[in-house]
């Protein structure tokens, strides 16, 4: 059960509500986010929900039988919209395009990509400065100095930044330079990181784990929301299967199912989802058609020279064409 | 290597070609289909392909390094188009819609579905009369009498029939009543069935196995083609993964990859691909956007009363809307 | 519900029982096997099972809630033992070793393997004459003539034969030359083949499908049993997963779970289960320890020259050592 | 390439070696562990390895073509043995049994388990105080105070402790109270955590990820080793597959393959590997037979009352019997 409290509730009134919940034997977690105050109540006893609904200070109350609560569409029917500032909105009636290189490599590289984004009216740039790599001997990113440079160029051009955070200690040093924190597939169930990201006021995009279930992804989002941050979006980026003809199996089914189960925006990553440059646009378009709120893909001036992920990275021409097709199809299906 | 022979080649000329191939130590399979005569040659020695190309009686010759040969796009760049008669074409520049119930249940049921198809300009009806069922105690279909009734009603209304064949002995009794033989997922590597379907002149749609690879699907098609039947199409219907939020994992990646690797038409089955009625249209649209040549989906007057697969079957209204959206989007992207 | 009827039941008495079952609204399948007569009754209504148990002609009655019935351990608690003749028993308190080449290749090859088996007291030889191959251009086995030769040499040396049957039409020509029909992984849900194998009196070993569930394997066995043949054994041979360090993922968990769920013998195939010669003995031993009733593995005089599966085939020395270790460990754990 | 340097190498001599490596265009990582000094050199140019081997200060040099280097058996043929003190050794010619509850719950619980371990000569106790849970509302462990209590009771009884560390900041507070740090499946690719665990002198057990490959597990171990800690062991705990008859698919194949590829000890976790109490002993025995250096399993006085994982936890009687069978079989196969 989720109880939404009135914003200006007094301690005394809240105390009375808590004691009523106590009476029915439910365990309560109080959650205060940027937008509201909630009580998440977990228990098994039967009771008349109207008794809670009629209490002073209660704005709304909903039964939520899912394993996740606050991110469920069962209590919040309307889609969540996330505001990155300067008119950049994600979710609801927007189709968001985020693009950029796998890794931030140099000032020159960032400038070229930013120029490409501006020309194509793309508002959000991706680019990793802390790179999770299977091997300890591989390139691990430019780090915090790379992020500052990345930020400087984007700010000067009105571009928002999404980049991966890998551990708790990076949050504080990164927070002023990013617009969206990205949680990578390998950290999808790094619960300490999720807890901490719930304690800051900055949007977060959570990728589904390599072989994470849809339910686990929603529970990972619940970690962040229940710690106080409801500026959240989810990302389908392909799962692991037995097929070896491509890198990951993009789970197109996950898109409509996530849209049904949660009010959070759902973003598709076609680059990791198939891992083969020629086919990335097809998967991006398919994801849009299946109901995604946006895409995040890899683009680079010269993919064949990229420091990482070149085989799945579009060049500027391919990216430009994809943007055109996404916009045309989105308009047709918007009604 | 594939050698395409001239249609009217004389035995003597062919003998000379075979002896040349023998010289370079290649093993040859001669294939005569509805459209051509081919020599599929397998070996490892190096040689100058122009020597073969310049022989009398040779129309064309191509190296094909794939594990499948005749179905590869490496020798036949143009897409294959399959003609079901009466102007019903599959592949190339057509988007084919095939729809119908999981199982043929009664004359009344078939008549209602046929009426729905005619009203929506759908030219091909699906419907099983031999049903593969996990349990021996489940409904196994109306059999050959059901097929005759199904055929009678469709013929009277200008509708083509696609239905599943489960074993070799059914081919002869079914052949006059079907327009496309369907090979189900469980028979995707039933090589004796594939061999026999290669010996008849009737189009075949092969479904990918439960956990078949893309390469295995193409090799299964090769079985049919190499026995003499090149009226073939492939079907992506979802694969088995660890996710339990839906029935199968529709492999959207397989669509562009199959289109790249083979000249055969690729059809999507969104009904089995996700297994949840509400989401079937999303997956159908996504598959079209990813490049599929058509869809095959389940429709029934009253899905909740269907003898099988009701949970993934559209009703007539949902089907009508889907047809409208498919056509609108196909037109936009056709250019 | 399974009702076991008395062996010499009269038609009148049986009729009364059927009419009683009809009264409670259950659908009945009558099954007559080599060992008994059963009524498999499927329905959902509640009733007092003692009413059925007390009827004339009823020997025993059991509720079975599983999706499979006759192969369930819920009605037959004792393990099934299969008698191949000449004292060769499978199941119960025997540990069976079956070995031989992937493919039957020549008289000389069979003679050498038979000699190895005799020397090591192995009573059952495997060897394929009809080979399912992914590619139509690969070696597809010696066929029925190979089987006759295989049979002649084995008979002369007191060795039993297990070999794969791929289609219904092969059953009649093979039946006099085999002791156990093997159903391969690709045919694990070839229901017509299963139906027909239920109509002959010859033991059958069913392999689990590439990505078949444990439940599906049991339902495939139910197909055979419910058609009249209860001389059945099951085989775990590895499933498909994302891991590429070996050929298949041997599902060791399936062994104790199958032993719990069914009274049928469970055989392990470590050769296909891991696909790497050096590790086959480890998997064979592990399977025995997990409760398998036997193993079936590939052995060849010169694995590197085998017509198929050489990479997972033991040579005679490795095979001899494995037999020694299997016997020593089986004795220790027998108590 | 791995170059093992002499322990007392002088800076000048080392400098010369580094400059030689530089000459051939290889990138070098210097690694100093508890046992040695290594240079891991990565590059693609051809060169004569004897030129490196003959340099002053070089003790040994090996080519290692694997993606992981220091954990590979290609340079260190002998098995690694890990000394937990007081004669408790893991790896080589020992079979290690580690057991304990999923979660540390209370002083009384720990005392009872410790008594059980002492009676059965089990030297290492597992038990979580920081628990990774899919849901933020589930019990997340007793934390550091629980660990101190756990440690106090174990120290008094000569029992070693293995427990999970979830994030970098916990390492310092935990290090004095644990004998082995456990990295859980969800953190198997938490590279920052792995880096930090490489910088302490305390044994680490790394679990394979939910759907981690064998290669990824070895690369995760490489992270720790290359940061300076070579007291490492690996743990197979089951992978994710499509099968739902049990919790995870215990990958028995991984045991012999890991033993072939690495010199590190390999431990099996049969509790998570199958997730069903009755079958845990079978899987433990199978893993031992496949070559595991030890097992780690869950045991509790009253599994049905355990705070977590009760369904896969043995009671004391079951645990006692398992220990007896493990020891008897290990002895038989030790030769």
Query: Does residue D335 have a pLDDT over 60?
Result: no
The whole-angstrom distance between B16's CA and the closest CA on chain C is 22
Domain check: are A87 and A41 in the same one? no
Whether residue A135 lies inside any domain: the answer is yes
d(Cα C293, Cα C69) in Å, to the nearest integer? 21
Distance of alpha carbon A69 from the chain centroid? 17
**Distance, CA of A284 to CA of A273 (rounded, Å):** 9
Measured between CB atoms, does C133 come within 8 Å of chain A? no
pLDDT tens-digit series, residues B318-331: 999 999 999 999 98
Q: Are residues A263 and A306 in the same domain?
A: yes
Which of A62, A97, A112 terminates a domain? The answer is A62
Count up the domains in chain C and report the number.
2
D100 interfacial to chain A (CB closer than 8 Å): no
Answer whether residue A75 is part of any domain. Answer: no
- Is it the case that residue D333 has pLDDT exceeding 90? no
pLDDT in tens, A13-48: 999 999 999 999 999 999 999 999 999 999 888 888
Q: Does C244 touch chain A (CB under 8 A)?
A: yes
Do C149 and C258 fall within a single domain? yes
pLDDT of residue A71: 97
- How does pLDDT run across A201-250, given as a tens digit for each residue? 999 999 999 999 999 999 999 999 999 999 999 999 999 999 999 999 99
- Asked if D136's CB is within 8 angstroms of A227's CB, the reply is yes
| Nearest alpha-carbon partner for B31 in B44, B21, B41 | B41
Is B72 part of any domain? Answer: no
pLDDT band at residue A85 under the 50/70/90 scheme = very high
What are the pLDDT digits (tens) for C68-126?
A: 999 999 999 999 999 999 999 999 889 999 999 999 999 999 999 999 999 999 999 99
CB contact under 8 A, D240 and B242: yes
- Residues B137 and B30 both lie in one domain: no
Q: What CATH number should be reported for the domain holding residue D300?
A: 3.20.20.70
- Domain match, C58 and C86 both: no
Mean pLDDT of C29-54: 92
Residue of A nearest to D239 (CA): A211
- Residue of A211, A240, A242 lying closest to C240 (CB–CB): A242
On whether both D93 and D55 belong to a single domain, the answer is no
Same domain, yes or no: C223 and C328: yes
Domain identity same for D16 and D120:
no
Give the integer Cα–Cα distance in Å for C81 and D105: 47
- Does residue A211 share a domain with residue A109? yes
Q: Give the tokens for residue D78.
A: 């002998």
Which of B236, B243, B258 to mutate to probe the A interface, most A CBs <10 Å?
Answer: B243
Share above pLDDT 90 across residues of chain D, in percent, rounded to a whole number: 93
How many C-beta atoms lie closer than 10 Å to residue B46's C-beta? 6
The answer on B242 and B276 residing in a single domain is yes
Q: For position B44, what pLDDT does the model report? A: 86
Answer yes or no: is pLDDT of C46 > 90: no
- Condensed to tens digits (0 to 9), the pLDDT of residues B250-277 reads 999 999 999 999 999 999 999 999 999 9
pLDDT digits (tens, 9 = 90+) for D255-302: 999 999 999 999 999 999 999 999 999 999 999 999 999 999 999 999
State whether residue A242 sits within 8 Å of chain C by CB.
Answer: yes
Q: Quick one: pLDDT at residue B92?
A: 87
Sign of the torsion angle spanned by Cα atoms A67, A73, A75, A76: positive
In CATH, what number is assigned to the domain containing residue D26? Answer: 3.30.70.1140
Mutation site for D-interface testing, chosen from B238, B241, B242 by largest number of D Cβ within 10 Å: B242
Q: How close B86 comes to chain C (CA, Å)?
A: 33
Condensed to tens digits (0 to 9), the pLDDT of residues D115-153 reads 999 999 999 999 999 999 989 999 899 999 999 999 999
User: Is D309 within the bounds of a domain?
Assistant: yes
Could you report how far apart the first and last alpha carbons of chain D are, in Å?
A: 34
% of chain B at pLDDT higher than 70: 100
The residue of chain D with its CA nearest to that of B247 is D242
Instruction: Assess contact for C174 and C147: CB atoms under 8 A.
Output: yes
For residue B68, tell me if it sits in a domain.
Answer: no
Residue D80 pLDDT greater than 90, yes or no? yes
Assess whether pLDDT exceeds 90 at residue B32.
yes
What pLDDT is attached to residue D44?
A: 86
Residue C313, in any domain of the structure: yes
pLDDT of residue C44: 86
A335 pLDDT higher than 70: no
Let me know the angle formed at the C-alpha of B241 by B235 and B246, rounded to the nearest 5 degrees.
80
The pTM score is 0.96
Beta strands D232-236; D266-268: pairing state? parallel
Assess B241–D contact: CB distance below 8 Å, yes or no. Answer: yes
| pLDDT on residue D251 | 98
Q: What mean pLDDT is predicted for residues A149-162? A: 98
Instruction: Please say whether the beta carbons of C197 and C204 come within 8 A.
Output: yes
Average pLDDT over residues D154-167: 98
Q: What's the pLDDT at C295?
A: 98
- Judging by beta carbons within 10 Å of its beta carbon (0-12, 13-18, 19+), is residue D240 exposed, middle or buried? buried
Q: How far is A297 from chain D (nearest CA, A)?
A: 23
Q: What is the mean pLDDT of residues D195-208?
A: 98
Q: Which residues contact residue B246 at a Cβ distance below 8 angstroms, ignoring those fewer than 6 apart?
A: A253, A257, B274, B275, B276, B279
B130 and B229 belong to one structural domain: yes
Res B324: pLDDT? 96
> In this predicted structure, what is the pLDDT of residue D92?
87
Structural domain harbouring C25: 2-62
* Mean pLDDT over each residue of chain C, to the nearest integer: 96
Digit-coded pLDDT (tens) for B104-151: 999 999 999 999 999 999 999 999 999 999 899 998 999 999 999 999
Average pLDDT over chain A, rounded to an integer: 96
Q: Are C9 and C134 within one domain? A: no
* C271–B contact, CB cutoff 8 A: no
Task: Report yes or no on D71 lying in a domain.
Answer: no
pLDDT per residue as tens digits for the range C277-305: 999 999 999 999 999 999 999 999 999 99
Question: What is the arrangement of strands in the sheet containing C27-32, beginning at the earlier edge strand?
Answer: C27-32, C37-42, C2-5, C58-62
Q: What angle do CA B79, B85, B88 make, to 5 degrees?
A: 60
Q: What's the CA gap between B113 and B315, in Å, rounded?
A: 10
Quote the pLDDT of residue C47.
87
Q: Comparing C-alpha atoms, which of A217, A229, A130 is closest to residue A170?
A: A130
Which of C210, C242, C249 should one mutate to test binding to chain A, selecting the residue with the greatest count of A CBs within 10 A? Answer: C242
Q: Which residue of B has its CA nearest to C214?
A: B134
Mean pLDDT, residues A71-93: 95
Higher pLDDT, D97 or C46: D97
Is residue A74 assigned to a domain? no
Q: Model confidence over B45-104: pLDDT tens digits?
A: 888 888 899 999 999 999 998 999 999 999 999 999 999 999 999 998 899 999 999 999
Stretch B163-182: mean pLDDT, rounded? Answer: 97
Question: DSSP assignment of C191-212, as one string?
Answer: HHHHHHHTTSSS-EEEEPPTT-
Q: Is the pLDDT of residue D49 over 60?
A: yes
pLDDT at C335: 53
pLDDT for residue B335: 53
pLDDT in tens, C182-229: 999 999 999 999 999 999 999 999 999 999 999 999 999 999 999 999
């Amino acid at each position: 059960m989720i109880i939404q409290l009135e914003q200006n509730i007094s301690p005394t009134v809240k105390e009375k509500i808590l004691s009523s919940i106590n009476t029915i034997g439910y365990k309560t977690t109080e959650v205060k986010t940027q937008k509201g105050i909630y009580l998440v109540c977990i228990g098994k006893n039967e009771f008349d929900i109207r008794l809670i609904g009629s209490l002073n200070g209660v704005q709304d109350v909903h039964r939520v039988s899912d394993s996740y609560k606050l991110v469920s569409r069962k209590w919040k029917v309307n889609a969540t919209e996330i505001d990155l500032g300067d008119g950049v909105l994600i979710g609801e009636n927007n189709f968001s395009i985020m693009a950029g290189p796998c890794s931030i490599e140099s000032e020159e590289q960032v400038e070229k990509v930013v120029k490409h984004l501006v020309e194509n009216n793309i508002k959000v740039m991706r680019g990793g400065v802390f790179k999770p790599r299977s091997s300890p001997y591989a390139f691990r990113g430019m780090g915090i100095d790379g992020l500052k440079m990345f930020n400087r160029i984007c700010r000067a051009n009105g571009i928002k930044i999404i980049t991966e955070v890998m551990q708790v200690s990076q949050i504080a040093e990164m927070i002023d330079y990013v617009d969206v924190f990205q949680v990578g597939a390998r950290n999808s169930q790094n619960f300490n990181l999720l807890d901490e990201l719930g304690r800051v006021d900055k949007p977060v995009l959570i990728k589904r784990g390599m072989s994470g279930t849809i339910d686990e992804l929603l529970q990972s989002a619940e970690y962040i929301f229940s710690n106080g941050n409801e500026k959240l979006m989810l990302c389908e980026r392909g799962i692991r299967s037995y097929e070896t003809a491509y890198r990951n199996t993009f789970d197109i089914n996950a898109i409509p199912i996530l849209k049904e189960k949660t009010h959070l925006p759902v973003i598709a990553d076609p680059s990791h989802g198939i891992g083969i440059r020629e086919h990335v646009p097809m998967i991006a378009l398919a994801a849009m058609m299946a109901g995604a709120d946006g895409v995040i893909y890899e683009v680079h001036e010269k993919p064949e020279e990229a420091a990482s992920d070149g085989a799945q990275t579009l060049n500027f021409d391919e990216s430009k064409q994809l943007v055109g097709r996404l916009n045309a199809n989105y308009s047709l299906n918007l009604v």
